[in-house]
Amino acid sequence: MTRTRKPGVSRRSTLALMGAGAVTFAAPWVARAQAKTIKIGMPTILSGRVAQLGTSSRNAVMLEVEKVNAAGGLAGRQIEMVIRDSKGQPQEAARIARELVNTDGCEMLLDGEASSGSFAVHEVARDLGVLCIHTCSEASSLTADPKQHIPNAFRCVRQGIHDSIVGAGYAAGIAKTKGLKKWATCSPDYAYGRDTTGEFVLYLKKFAPDVEIISESWPKLFQPDYTEVVTKILQAKPQALYSCLWGGDLTSYIDQANIYALFTQMEVFAVNMADYTALTVVKNLPKGIHSGDRYIKTFPATPENAAWGDAYKAKYNEYPTNWSWQNATAVMFLNEAVKKANSTDGKKVAEVLTGLTIKCPFGADGTVTMRADDRTLVGYAIGWGTTIPQEPYVPDVKAGDWKTIFELEAEWKKSKGYT
Amino acid sequence: MLLFLVAVGLTLIFGVLKVVNFSHGAFYMFGAYFAMTAYQLTGSFALAMLSGAAGTAILGLIFERVFMSRVYGRDVLMQLLVCYAFVLIFDDVVRMIWGPEFKSMGMPAAFQVPPLFIAGGVVPPYYLLLIGVALAAAVILGLGLARSRIGKVIRAAAHNPGMVSALGINTGLIYGGVFALGGMLAGLAGALAAPVRSLTPGMGFSVLIESFIVTVIGGMGSILGALIGALLIGLIRSFGSLGFPLFTEGLMYLFMVIVLVSRPTGLFGKEVA
């Protein structure tokens, strides 16, 4: 028996399918060309343990977007934010980022993911070529590693390496004055905790060579009980303690270490203490914990910064977080770049963004810069100080020196083989 | 000691009701939140503890009568599903009422005193209170179950509920009471933990895992087993963090494996007939 037609899909239906496919895929592009509003997609963490940070990112973005829209939008187009919850899962963040661009028609991405997710979103940006600004990931390698460099992705976030240099410089100064030679560390047992502590210790020993680490503790992330960690540190009798515990873990640790009177027996350096989320939650905050600035409305001590912090509080009834100022800055950058480019075209905006300096309430000198060679944020206010239990919480922040940061960062990049 | 309170509630519920209460951690969480709220409203530590315990007891009773009582004797998977569903529901309820961010109750002024130095060790006074409460709970439970009439009825109900029911005793009430008691113990542990731990939705889960380890080591259904198991886990963690800082968690599970291999019913567990 002869067949008149081979089994499978006929040419006609193939053509029909292709036609339908073309229409489906082209639809968002056609719609986009005609759209008056500009959609900006944002995957971030809105549920789970760090939901508060994601929420504060969304709040800050909305605060700034409202201002931009009220002033006429981006090159005359009103911004419409499309914000989705990634639940802190990298694969979900990547999926959402792709969907935001391909299905929702977003023309730009603000990546409000923690480090784990931001690398995934970065790959999506590489693949789709869409303009993407990372707004939360502090992992230095995201922009320091040349393998990650793509012309359409930027990072508008503070960085682990900057914090370590400034923190270690500040701590070494105190170590020298007070003769603190025996140090202990206590940080969460995952990439961020280990890397940040390692970098801090590296520079601390560089600035104060006679410092010695006599005890290390690595509690699990989200560990409820720190008794064995606290007693171990007390047994080791160090003169100073460094910790990069954060959020609820840090407040738990403080509450538990407090009843062992740990804070009266050593100087404590906790880089993540000076964030309102932690400062306002701890009921018996010991005096004199040294901390890096995360976001504090009194540093930089300018009316612009204070006004921004107050405006946020007035709108959301709580203080902003470290993630808030970074996200707000990203919107400020976009607004300025679009004005300069006089276009919302991703490529043109990216060109202008590279090396752009803008006025910003969070700048060390009132401005921040998107450094051209690695498309990352520099010049932001960075410093360390000691905490007190009531507002302004960190009355005197010693600012870090960007010249030193640049020098040591360049050395660090060389040692890592990045340059 | 907090671990003991959570674990003993778990073991009690399992011993009498033969249900592995996966939602037990949620009662610990509610206990902590109830205590924090009461402390903020009244400023009284005693009232905070009381509301943590009483609140969770009532919650336990309602939960048992309305939901758990329907799955007794059913497939273990069914019981597990119901419990797990409530873990998620309770977490979301806490999130809706108290918000997703972490909270802290703060140490009452009475306990903000320097720690005591006993035999070379540092002991915060608050932890002495915890030890005292936990030991009191152990003694009351142990004696109560062994000596009192209600204790006897509970034990009888655990062995042969049909017979107990035939004797004119309301087994539903007994079951509800035991579940409420178990929930109350977890709630009390949560309330006692509130001053030293941060409060978040989902905080019960890590405690639940550890208290399961404790009950498995001590033997499901044994109060003494829960006490010894909790102490052993505490010691393993402390010595582990000094000797094997990178393997503390592993040591805990390794110990559980050794116990299970050598005594499958746990240290103080009885063979199930």
Query: What are the pLDDT digits (tens) for A160-204?
Result: 899 999 999 999 999 999 999 999 999 998 878 898 899 999 999
Q: What angle do CA B208, B256, B220 make, to 5 degrees?
A: 60
Instruction: Give the residue from B3, B4, B40, B102 with the most A CB atoms within 10 Å of its CB, the best one to mutate.
Output: B102
Decide: helix, strand or coil at residue A66: helix
The residue in chain B having the minimum alpha-carbon distance to the alpha carbon of residue A48 is B100
In this complex, the residue of B104, B242, B245 whose CB is nearest that of residue A251 is: B104
Cβ-based neighbours of B250, under 8 Å, separated by 6 or more:
B244
Q: Is the Cβ–Cβ distance between A168 and A225 less than 8 Å?
A: no
Option in A49, A220, A260 nearest B249 (CB): A220
Q: Tokens 């109830």 — which residue?
A: B34
Task: Considering only the beta carbons, identify the residue of B103, B234, B245 that sits closest to A281.
Answer: B103
pLDDT confidence band for A20 (50 / 70 / 90): low
Q: How far apart are CA B9 and CA B7, in angstroms?
A: 5
The hierarchical CATH code for the domain A161-300+382-393 is: 3.40.50.2300
B239 is a domain residue: no
State how far the alpha carbon of A104 is from the alpha carbons of A27, A28, A42, A108, B18, in Å. Answer: 11, 8, 11, 11, 51
Note whether residue B119 is domain-resident: yes
**Is pLDDT at B273 greater than 50 in this prediction?**
no
In a domain, B77, yes or no: yes
B126: which chain A residues are within 8 Å (Cβ-Cβ)?
Answer: 259
Tally of domains within chain B:
1
- Residues of B engaging A, defined by a Cβ cutoff of 8 Å: 2, 100-107, 111-112, 114-115, 121-122, 124-127, 193, 195-198, 200, 202-203, 206-207, 234, 237-238, 240-242, 245-246, 248-249
Question: What is the average pLDDT score of chain A?
Answer: 91
Using alpha carbons, select from B230, B250, B231 the residue that is nearest to residue B240: B250
DSSP B148: S
Which tokens belong to A131? 């303009």
The answer to whether residue A1 scores a pLDDT higher than 50 is no
Of B161, B179, B173, which is closest to residue B86 (Cα–Cα)? B179
Q: Per-residue pLDDT tens for A336-374?
A: 999 999 999 999 999 999 999 999 999 999 999 999 999
A220–chain B Cβ distance below 8 A for any pair = yes
Across the range A100-128, mean pLDDT stands at 95
Q: Where are the beta strands (DSSP E) in A50-124?
A: 79-85, 108-111
Rounded CA-CA distance A171/A177 in Å is 10
Task: Give me the domain span that covers residue B151.
Answer: 2-104+113-201
Q: Can you name the residues that pair with A335 across neighbouring β-strands?
A: none
* Residues recorded for chain B: 273
| Cβ-defined contact of B115 to A216 (cutoff 8 Å) | no
DSSP per position, B56-102: HHHHHHHHHHHTGGGSTTS-HHHHHHHHHHHHHHHHHHHHHHH-SS-
Relative to beta strand A182-186, strand A240-243 is parallel
Residue A25 is predicted with a pLDDT of: 56
In a domain, B165, yes or no: yes
Instruction: State the pLDDT confidence band at B132, using cuts at 50, 70 and 90.
Output: very high
Whole-Å CA distances, B243 to B246, B248, B249, B257: 9, 9, 12, 20
Residue B16 in domain: yes
Q: Is residue B247 part of a domain?
A: no
Report how far residue A352's alpha carbon sits from residue A350's, in angstroms, rounded to the nearest whole number.
5
Could you say which of A235, A251, A261 has the minimum Cβ distance to residue B198? A251
Distance from CA of B80 to the nearest CA of A (A): 22
Alpha-carbon separation of residue B100 from A164, A262, A280, B159, B192 (angstroms): 30, 29, 15, 43, 21
Q: How far is B36 from chain A (nearest CA, A)?
A: 12
- Classify residue B223: in a domain, yes or no: no
Within 8 A by CB and 6+ apart from A256, the residues are A225, A226, A227, A230, B196, B197
How does pLDDT run across A72-104, given as a tens digit for each residue? 999 999 999 999 999 889 999 999 999 999 999
Could you tell me if residue B13 is inside a domain?
yes
